[in-house]
Structure 1
Amino acid sequence: MFDIGFWELLVVGVVALLVLGPERLPGAIRTTMKTVRSVKSTASGFKQEVEHQLRVHELHENLKKAEQQGLEDISPELQKSVDELKNAAESVQEPYKKK
């Protein structure tokens, strides 16, 4: 992502040491790392949500195609999507079925 080499990091470290001093530098590093981790976590969560929404949209489109064809003589890909949606619907209804 960023093209930062060893020498660039060394220069940044020396400047940070001069500006912050040896007492505050470890705390600043911890705070920076915590912020970077939270940003990465947020970005990862966002990416997973977008992928999930794209998959749902794809399944929805495949279901529309299958319904237009009357759920008969559909391609194996569409049949797989329809079966996946049926299984998901059954798993959602499972806890509510009377025993």
Structure 2
Amino acid sequence: MFDIGFWEILLIGVLALIVLGPERLPGAIRSTLKTVRSVRNVASGFKEEVEHQLRVHELHENLKKAEQQGLKDLSPELQNSVDELKQAAESVQEPYKKP
């Protein structure tokens, strides 16, 4: 992601040691790592949400194509999308079925 070499890290470490001192440096490192982890988690969550929305959009488009073709003579990709959507609809209706 970033192109930071050994010498840059060493320089940052020495400057941090001089500015913060040996008492506050470990706490600063911990808080910096905590912040970096939280930013990574937010970015990962955003990426997963975007991928999910793209998949939903793709399924929706495939369903539109399948409806236009009358759900007959579908390509394997469209048939898979339709089957996946049917399974999802059945799984949603499952808890509400009366025994």
Alignment of 1:20-59 (within 5 A): 20-59=20-59
Separation in 1, partners of 2:31, 2:76? 52
Match of 2:5 in 1: 5
Separation in 2, partners of 1:77, 1:40? 34
SS of match in other structure, 1:2: coil
Look up the equivalent residue of 2:24 and give its one-letter code. R
> Identity percentage over the alignment?
84
Separation in 2, partners of 1:81, 1:28? 50
Question: What is the CA-CA distance between 1:65 and the residue it aligns to?
Answer: 0.1
Give deviations 1:8-54, integer Å, cap 9, x for gaps.
10000000000000000000000000000000000000000000000
Question: What is the CA-CA distance between 1:74 and the residue it aligns to?
Answer: 1.0
Match of 2:66 in 1: 66
Separation in 1, partners of 2:85, 2:92? 11
SS of match in other structure, 2:57: helix
Separation in 2, partners of 1:26, 1:96? 55
Deviating above 4 A after TM superposition, structure 1's stretches of 4 or more consecutive aligned residues are none
Count of matched residue pairs: 99
Separation in 2, partners of 1:97, 1:8? 63
Normalised TM-score (structure 2): 0.99
Mind listing any 5+ residue stretches in structure 2 that lack a counterpart? none
